[in-house]
Every structure is written in C-alpha cells, then in structure tokens.
Amino acid sequence: GAVVSQHPSRVICKSGTSVKIECRSLDFQATTMFWYRQFPKQSLMLMATSNEGSKATYEQGVEKDKFLINHASLTLSTLTVTSAHPEDSSFYICSASGTSGVRTDTQYFGPGTRLTVL
C-alpha cells in the first residue's frame, strides 16, 4: 500500500516551454502533497506544500508564478514549470501524506521526474 506515482518519469523540453508533472496517490487519499527538487549529490529541497482544494504554500525563494501547483483532488497534484529554462533542469519528486489507511507520521514519495531543459 501507499503507492505514489509520477508522470512523466523523464521529460526533455525546449527553453521557454511549459512542462506539467503529475503526482498521484494510487491507493490512499492524500490530504497533503509536497513537491521537492533535488540537484545532483544534494538534499531534497522542499518547494511547496499543498492541501487538497487549497492554494499551495511555497517555500522561501520558490517562485509561485513559475512553479504552478494544483491539488484538485485527494489523489492528484500537478506541478507546472512555466517558461522553463536550463537552470530549471533537475529531479522533481512529489510526496503525499494521508490520514487514513497509511502511516500518518511519514510521507510517501513518488519515483521522481527528471526534467532536462535544452
């Protein structure tokens, strides 16, 4: 149980285009979803936290107009990188936490999405 999927797993796009990444909780209701970014050999950096039906809370230094987050249902959150540039190339990972049927003291992570902006 507690499976989180991400799609796509890998995406290559041209500079200036927008990319949407989906995060789904497959077998539990995710009351809260988190988006992280990881650079090579570095820690996972939290970008934003979103609760279903609410606006996302962004961490300091993360541009909310550039990284659009939508958490429209209890099983789906999307991250859209708008007008992507090469410096946005990174590994993006989502996680989800729930209150029923899963441990409530941890987050369950998706497999990540490797974004490469040319």
Partner 1 sequence: DQQVKQNSPSLSVQEGRISILNCDYTNSMFDYFLWYKKYPAEGPTFLISISSIKDKNEDGRFTVFLNKSAKHLSLHIVPSQPGDSAVYFCAASGSDGSRLTFGEGTQLTVNP
Q: What does the binding site for partner 1 look like in residue numbers (CB under 8 A)?
A: 4, 6, 9, 32, 34, 41-46, 49, 93-95, 97, 103-112, 114
Strand partners, 70: 78
Neighbours of 45 (CB within 10 A): 14
Per-position DSSP letters for 48-72, written without gaps between them = EEEETTSPPEEPTT--TTTEEEEEE
| Two structure tokens written together for 89 | 């190339």
- Nearer residue to partner 1 within complex by CB, 87 or 105: 105
| Smaller CB separation from partner 1, 2 or 19 | 2
> Which of 19, 47 has the CB closer to partner 1?
47
The four Cα atoms 2, 39, 86, 59 give a dihedral, to 10 degrees, of 70
Residues 12 and 20 sit within 8 Å (Cβ to Cβ):
no
CB of 16 to partner 1, least distance (A): 26
Minimum distance of partner 1 from residue 107's CB (angstroms): 6
Rounded least distance, CB 39 to partner 1, Å: 10
Nearer to partner 1, 18 or 55 (CB): 55
